[in-house]
Structure 1
Amino acid sequence: MTLFIAYLIVFLLAAIPFFEIVGVIPIGVIAGLHAVPVTILAFIGNMLTILLIILLMDKIIGWFEKRKEKNPEKSKKRERRAARVWKRYGLPGLAIISPILIGSHLGVILAMGFGGTRKQIAVWMTASIFFWAIVTGIVSHYGVDFIFSQTGRSGFLEDLLKR
């Protein structure tokens, strides 16, 4: 049951906006969870909220505009960064770089604001998140495996469960 809860936490963290798969997957693998289910659950969790944002875009853009009024400098900095990527590389570039640069959830909102269609955004964000999930899962698995083989330790979750 404890492992189920650990995997559920990975899923929920990946579903929370601004907790990106490039952060959640390594945390899950370092915790001692298997990389394949962590990667799959993180991908599904992140995609569910991305698709939800795309479906509820009109309401979210209204909320985002109100939030932007409260802290204009922080929002403008991220928006300028995303606008530069959009002008240079379009939707594919924004989709590929947003999980690392500005967050996939914000990337979806900005892509809609810049004129992308829901279908295009869904396709490109799915491809991007899939790509980053696979890369992060592989790097996390082999990186953590290498580190733990050098130290002779296991993940902190496994250590906690042994006590």
Structure 2
Amino acid sequence: MAVLSAVWKYIVVFVLAGIPWAEVALVIPLAILYGMNPLLVGSVALAGNLATVYLVIIYFEKFQEWRKRRKKGNSRPSRRHDRAVKLWRKYGLPGLTLSGPLLIGSHIAAVAAMALGASKQDVFFWSTISLVLWTVLITAAAAYGIEWLGWV
């Protein structure tokens, strides 16, 4: 029964990491603080976040159609959108996707990159690089920081 309970904890990490605005930056430290294995938490959180980012990239055109239907009339772009455009103009696709998980969210970074003209293949590549990098950094920082502080 304890094994099943542990599996459910990691399923929750997978699901939460895939939700925009929760993402790896929040889920990983919380799960490690909860006492879960940092290596497994990082791996599962990365898989959950990548899964939903990949779905966003794959179904981008359908998402755009849905968004147009939903936002009838003249609506002002969000602050996240404005921030994404500034990042795109200043740093291009690598800068947008690498800063995305912390500044605007990995999902929004992927959508913004594609809306601004990046190819799906390039967004797949840079989103993967970004999420792997941030997952490793956040997992290490959380694991060593929590251990150093003596919280676990």
Identity of aligned residues (%): 33
Q: 2:23 aligns with which of 20, 23, 32?
A: 20
- 1:2 is matched with which residue? 5
The one-letter code of the counterpart of 1:86 is: W
Alignment of 1:46-57 (within 5 A): 46-57=49-60
Alignment of 1:1-163 (within 5 A): 1-67=4-70, 72-73=75-76, 75-148=77-150, 154=152
**Equivalents in 1 of 2:135, 2:114: separation in Å?**
23
More helix by share: 1
Q: Summarize the Cα distance change of 1:51–1:86 in structure 2 as closer, same or farther, 3 Å threshold.
A: same
Deviation at 1:116, TM superposition (A): 0.3
Deviation at 1:18, TM superposition (A): 2.2
**Equivalents in 2 of 1:90, 1:134: separation in Å?**
23
**Equivalents in 2 of 1:25, 1:69: separation in Å?**
37
**Equivalents in 1 of 2:23, 2:49: separation in Å?**
7
Deviation at 1:77, TM superposition (A): 1.5
**Equivalents in 1 of 2:30, 2:125: separation in Å?**
27
TM-score (norm 1): 0.85
Contact 1:22 1:99 in 2 (8 A): yes
Which runs of no fewer than 5 residues in structure 1 stay unpaired? 155-163
**Equivalents in 1 of 2:28, 2:70: separation in Å?**
29
Deviation at 1:64, TM superposition (A): 3.1
TM-score (norm 2): 0.91
**Equivalents in 1 of 2:110, 2:130: separation in Å?**
11
**Equivalents in 2 of 1:70, 1:39: separation in Å?**
42
Which runs of no fewer than 5 residues in structure 2 stay unpaired? none
Q: Summarize the Cα distance change of 1:147–1:94 in structure 2 as closer, same or farther, 3 Å threshold.
A: same
Deviation at 1:70, TM superposition (A): 8.6
